[in-house]
Structure 1
């Protein structure tokens, strides 16, 4: 399949960010609600910055609990105004003080509320004792609270409260036994001093006072997903996005919210395949709110603790006291003092091995970003030298630190074993990333750079994400490395070989051929790689070579493979050779296929076998050997499922969708093709194949967008050198032009593809092209040229047994007969073509051939027979979904005086308040506990379609949740196997 033009993410659905929903705090809200209901009560809500203390209070305050609450917030001031939070809270009340039942004691409030002077009792005589004056003021405030009917006093951010405010809270606690207001207080425990009055609030509760301490921790990963989804219109987010965001924010709601807003502002997330996904980001930028809060906290610490935090930020992972001390340039004792201070501030956390690191990634990032660039290099060098003492050496971390320190030789010394370690664990992407940044370092010797480039290229070939930004970085790096003076021919060949294979993956077929040809000449020292390169040169695309040249490369590869010891390499070569021969239309491919295994003994072997059978299935579909295609694709899907390879599964499902198109199984195919298009924008081949499938359906239905879609496929396949994928698109465009009577355009669009077929001599590729080209020539009055082309196709297919090509040849002959033979012979010729299509089976083409047969019968004067055959084709095409063809036949029947069968034309039948069969499929899987994503994979529908059908079912059953839906349909027996598939719901 040809690669497609990458779709700009700007075309994707743009995020519209809203206030996040309240998630993950149901238990805490219930505890707060229940405790406050048992008045009087004291509730302490503790948690770090951004953990959701204020949101919890907001949700509770918004509830209809019938309580009068006075809310105060402590400002983040180093020297807070005495009783400032309480005063500000009272100033927010709307009730007039003048009418309140206050005693003369309230005159003590005049200094705090000068604006109320006219409403308060006269000022009291001053007292010399500060404690006495404060106690009198507290009593007056308490009286005011009671007069206002305040049931609950809420104080937020009490860690910033002044001492007098805290003393007032203690005063209220002491008086709660007389039915005073309840207290709800939030604070950050890490910012509360050991001797703070705040800690005494719940140490000795009066008798009859309910108490609770609610500690808020980070939300769970699933709550992170729900929170982000609530910000993005309720649409789901991908598992990868959820994990990425949860790990980097530590599950802190404010950090999650701010990060999502920042990512939306930067267009770092897009809507794909029914869910929000992030683009390829290595890091998450620190939101300003988190950055400023972190720096404020760090600035309060001692110089030693700040240096410890800078060292810990550079180390980035769990690190020993010794490593932190060495990085900070401190003694162990000095480091321990700083670590203890940072831990007390709840910035560092400890594990069970007495190692330390930041409690949250974003906090660490904020500290790291505050370090001057020159200081960072020094700290990284110290970190690397400290970690060199660890056994075994942490090579990945060492490579990172020496890279950041600017020490290239030590960086390279550790990057290569780190990459080897990543490759051994199957993480090819990590290996590639480790090596890529080394390649521009010209301080390394040329042979070292050649070795690193070759390793990076080979590692990139094994990545699961074949065409992305990393892919493009690798290609650029390999090309740049080839320009380095002093590389030997063998070193260049080692780079060109993976480069050529990568270029094939990226759709640069012509450039790939150039690189591989040059590589083969100097790979005599490595027969396995030489054979692989030869096999790739045997693939019949991206070059002007005739099929005979490709066959020579394939046979050279086969000869070389016989001397290779590795069974895995021989299997890989045989599988690729078989697929290449299928593309050439050579029957000897099936001899190679017959010797291939259907299973393997290891995961890599099974994945390779799955890939091989997928390619063979693709070739079998092209040939029209659909039973063989289904058998090989079933093997591939079984192995891909067993190894959980989503990429291979996508490839297999695409070919199964193509198979369903050709065999006339069109039900649900539109949803599947749309899903391929939407979900594979980063995989050009799959994306473009999805566009082609969508275009086929659109053309059959008579929709105008089909032309634009086929034009896209043709243009992109031409640009990328995938000549075989230009054929069907050109043929369909020509068919559309002929239907409009534009004969010259039909000939023009098929000119270049036909030249390619003739040059390469691969007439298998002309299955769709040849019949429409013959028809266009005949419409242009060039009967001799049409007959000559038909003869040329026959000669080209001599010795080849592909059923699809043989059926196309029969159709070409029928077209030629229609132009010059009698109508009876023409009818027989079209009947033979229809039988050839039926034998595969390929019903859509068979139905259109029989339409031509019916027209010939009418021309022969066999009206009844012709009308009957047309009517039958009309009905079958209509039910298949080929409405454009059905309408054409209906018009012909009317013109010929025939009767058009009366068929229901209202689109899909409505089911009223009953579950449709499609909805029942979805609901049955919901009852089985499947997620929407799992359902979409099982039913081969897009997630958006599954969601739509699920919502429709919920609406019909009159429920609002998946759980309620499952319960109701189960209790009602709506999914019983023997039940009416359209059973009504109530």
Structure 2
């Protein structure tokens, strides 16, 4: 006998009893944080609904993150509070006014604005936390957190950091496969305060017996056949959503029959279960009335829990007709309501399936109606409105709400979200020139405040701002307000030459904004790029100083004065040190502390160029303290790089190889800093005698610095390459590589940059048989340093004079000058030349003794390549070479071959396999094979670990 049932029931909660008990147990020990993870349709929301339905549960505030790319900053948190009665709050609640305008009559007055976005965000978080506590919320539930905006996740971290006995517990559901490696979600269970209960519930697919129980609960509680159970479980993988949707579809299609006391599937082998939830959802929806289908399309367009009134306006239905349509869809198990009268799809996948089935010609109308419906809400959800009016093809409304959303995002410190909204608007909307100019300026300012590195969004901003500048009809002032942030962004990306061009054009039309005009002039005063002489950069700095004196804000004056001091140091202006002496070492606000950190690291860089190493150490220490206090990781990397440069110069080489590898890994997305790390690695390679690696690295630094317009960064690399080629006797090549950098120094007139360059050039001229040119260059160098107390360039001048004189006494003066800095490596090399001069003059014993001392000092410093050269010279003069312990790599099976060693060196330098194959002239497959062999021998499983282990194990020592 065959019979059919008149209806399919809602699925019973099955297979999750243990998880539910664990959830209840954790929340019974507050404060707690519970993470519920699992794929789409696995039952995360159902588990939370079961817990929320229990009468004995603690008070909870529930919100759901909408699946919108443009989700409003803190939108899920704000939505959770909508409809609640405002409690009595302190004056701090004035910070909530931008988020809760409907409470305007009851909230305290607005708080004064803060210049620093990070401080404003912290104040807002404190106000929201106060609101949670005032409402006596015991549990804050956030569903679908993989769609949460960054600031919402930061707020959750803030709540966790303040959890105490009276703090709210957190329950967060998300899909792990949609959480990126850098998501703040991954930090929610790390570094928890003491006493916080932690639970992670990972929902797995149902087992076959639970599959049978779920399906049976939908079909009058009667059993289902074993074959049918196996069929469903195999085809759906035990995912509850797929099970429910498949059963409903099969029932609607009369594929299910009740036979001999159990449910079976008709023609089991012939009829197919829908392969995806999308197919099952669309077919099931097609069986509903036209009004219900229209309501579902509207709900799918809205994509978030919405009221009947909002769905009705979006569907273009009367309220009564919509109410009936929603009831029909809910009875069919497609929609689900909450206790606030809002409706949403029971499963996100079903929502997506319905939306994607809407014809493209109809979607615009649905989005237009959705936008008009959402405009009736208070406060209007501006990010969602921007989304709907964009999809509706309404640029004016889209622009209005995108700007409002960006303003809210920036007020909360979420500058990335603001940039995304504005760049999307500029890229896709046709706006009048005045609107495009305003939005572009706003996007540029927001981009400057981002904490992220040079990434895809950065390049998109650059392209967008440049395209806006091509818009006909922009005034000179509008162009200037776009070129100003564009120029500063180009500096961040390493495009120095292009940056100066944009800033110079901007300055001429920034008279209305003296702060920005002075800032742009200060950037023009930096001498890193362009053909201008030092005098031109100096004039820009002087103009900036005149404007700075007229600015009322102490913080702005400090920022401009500090940057002027650092810029003057780069020009080699002695008066810069008077300005540096007046710099504070701390500030009252986060913004000022970060400004000071940047200023002090720039001063530290200038002090390194001058050779004032004690000053450099002092300013870098201040910068690191401030950067660490403000958790500014990128700024900390800047300081670490300059501290590593200081360590190199002052002879503290231990651990520098590891540091250079770590910095190169961290700064790959910042060209200038990455090249700085490679330059440090190249110095170490050259000193160790690893000629091939050093040459390739210095060549990379030289070529990329020139391409980026960073003229000052080409000097050392060109000089290092010249010295390498001089050891081959190739003076012509040494002269050629130093031609352009030398011309840059002469053209700009900044001779403090030439500490490494001029000695290498003088040596090359002498080797080429042109002592007159060498003397002229030394005289130019001396004139360029006149009146400047720059110890490093002056020591280099002493070396140049020693080259011309060739006497032991002259080299002794040069060595003493280097030692006074101190700069021991250069002092040792000068002593080596002094010893050679003594030997040439017939003072054999004194020369050999001095040479032997340099061999031991160079060896112990880590300059094994130089030590090897000195040892060879000692042997040539009949002297014994001291036997020093080299450490070295272990023997037996973990020895690296010479070719493997070459590969490891380039890995330490930060080269990719493709780059290594080019440098070593090997196939990528061979490089990969040798890299894997090296990893195996050194017992590591990553490139970074290989680099560190190689240096620690001393695997380079045997190559000397």
- Equivalent residue for 2:284, pick from 291, 295, 300: 300
- Equivalent residue for 1:419, pick from 400, 406, 411: 406
- Equivalent residue for 1:667, pick from 654, 664, 670: 654
Provide the rounded CA distance (Å) in 2 between the counterparts of 1:315 and 1:495: 35
Is the CA contact 2:801–2:810 (under 8 Å) kept in the aligned structure 1?
yes
C-alpha distance after superposition, 1:655-694 (max 9, x if no partner): 1222222222222222221222233222111211111112
1:28–1:657 Cα change, 3 Å: same
Provide the rounded CA distance (Å) in 1 between the counterparts of 2:602 and 2:318: 63
Is the CA contact 1:517–1:537 (under 8 Å) kept in the aligned structure 2?
yes
- Equivalent residue for 1:772, pick from 731, 737, 760: 760
Provide the rounded CA distance (Å) in 2 between the counterparts of 1:384 and 1:748: 66
- Normalised by the length of structure 1, the TM-score is 0.63
Provide the rounded CA distance (Å) in 2 between the counterparts of 1:617 and 1:48: 51
Partner of 2:818: 837
C-alpha distance after superposition, 1:171-200 (max 9, x if no partner): 9x9xxxxxxxxxx99966745989x99xxx
Matches within 5 A, 1:203-282: none
- Give the deviation of 1:779 after TM superposition: 0.8
| Secondary structure at 1:437 match in 2 | helix
Matches within 5 A, 1:164-175: 167=223
Provide the rounded CA distance (Å) in 1 between the counterparts of 2:768 and 2:865: 24
Q: Does 1:449 align with 2:436?
A: yes
Provide the rounded CA distance (Å) in 2 between the counterparts of 1:347 and 1:646: 47
Partner of 1:685: 672
C-alpha distance after superposition, 1:905-963 (max 9, x if no partner): 342579999xxxxxxxxxxxxxxxxxxxxxxxxxxx9986569989999xxxxxxxxxx
- Equivalent residue for 1:573, pick from 532, 541, 560: 560
Partner of 1:728: 716
Is the CA contact 1:623–1:802 (under 8 Å) kept in the aligned structure 2?
yes
- Give the deviation of 1:594 after TM superposition: 1.8
Is the CA contact 2:274–2:280 (under 8 Å) kept in the aligned structure 1?
no
Is the CA contact 2:721–2:737 (under 8 Å) kept in the aligned structure 1?
yes
1:717–1:402 Cα change, 3 Å: same
Provide the rounded CA distance (Å) in 2 between the counterparts of 1:702 and 1:882: 8
- In structure 1, the gaps of 5 or more residues are 1-24, 32-45, 54-151, 174-183, 198-288, 819-825, 914-940, 954-986
- Equivalent residue for 2:599, pick from 599, 612, 627: 612
| Secondary structure at 1:439 match in 2 | helix
Provide the rounded CA distance (Å) in 1 between the counterparts of 2:567 and 2:744: 17
- Give the deviation of 1:52 after TM superposition: 10
Partner of 1:600: 587
Partner of 1:791: 779
C-alpha distance after superposition, 1:33-57 (max 9, x if no partner): xxxxxxxxxxxxx99877499xxxx
Provide the rounded CA distance (Å) in 2 between the counterparts of 1:550 and 1:486: 32
Is the CA contact 2:649–2:825 (under 8 Å) kept in the aligned structure 1?
yes
Larger displacement relative to structure 2 (707-716 or 869-878): 869-878
Partner of 2:855: 874
Partner of 1:588: 575
C-alpha distance after superposition, 1:440-473 (max 9, x if no partner): 5674332222222222222222222353222222
Provide the rounded CA distance (Å) in 1 between the counterparts of 2:38 and 2:435: 52
Partner of 2:374: 387
- Normalised by the length of structure 2, the TM-score is 0.65
| Secondary structure at 2:528 match in 1 | coil
1:828–1:428 Cα change, 3 Å: same
C-alpha distance after superposition, 1:506-558 (max 9, x if no partner): 23322222222222222212111111111111111321111011101101100
Provide the rounded CA distance (Å) in 2 between the counterparts of 1:579 and 1:598: 15
Q: Does 1:716 align with 2:724?
A: no
- Give the deviation of 1:758 after TM superposition: 0.4
Is the CA contact 1:290–1:363 (under 8 Å) kept in the aligned structure 2?
no
Is the CA contact 1:674–1:942 (under 8 Å) kept in the aligned structure 2?
no
Provide the rounded CA distance (Å) in 1 between the counterparts of 2:509 and 2:302: 44
- Equivalent residue for 1:523, pick from 501, 505, 510: 510
Larger displacement relative to structure 2 (542-551 or 357-366): 357-366
Q: Does 1:753 align with 2:728?
A: no
Provide the rounded CA distance (Å) in 1 between the counterparts of 2:578 and 2:730: 45
C-alpha distance after superposition, 1:407-434 (max 9, x if no partner): 1111112222222222222222222222
Is the CA contact 2:282–2:353 (under 8 Å) kept in the aligned structure 1?
no
- In structure 2, the gaps of 5 or more residues are 1-15, 23-36, 45-206, 230-236, 252-272, 895-939, 953-960
Is the CA contact 2:699–2:717 (under 8 Å) kept in the aligned structure 1?
yes
- Give the deviation of 1:715 after TM superposition: 0.9
- Give the deviation of 1:338 after TM superposition: 5.7
1:382–1:883 Cα change, 3 Å: same
User: How many aligned residue pairs are there?
Assistant: 682
| Secondary structure at 1:465 match in 2 | coil
| Secondary structure at 2:301 match in 1 | helix
Larger Rg: 1
Is the CA contact 1:47–1:187 (under 8 Å) kept in the aligned structure 2?
no
- Give the deviation of 1:598 after TM superposition: 1.4
Partner of 2:123: none
Provide the rounded CA distance (Å) in 1 between the counterparts of 2:622 and 2:317: 62
Q: Does 1:887 align with 2:875?
A: no
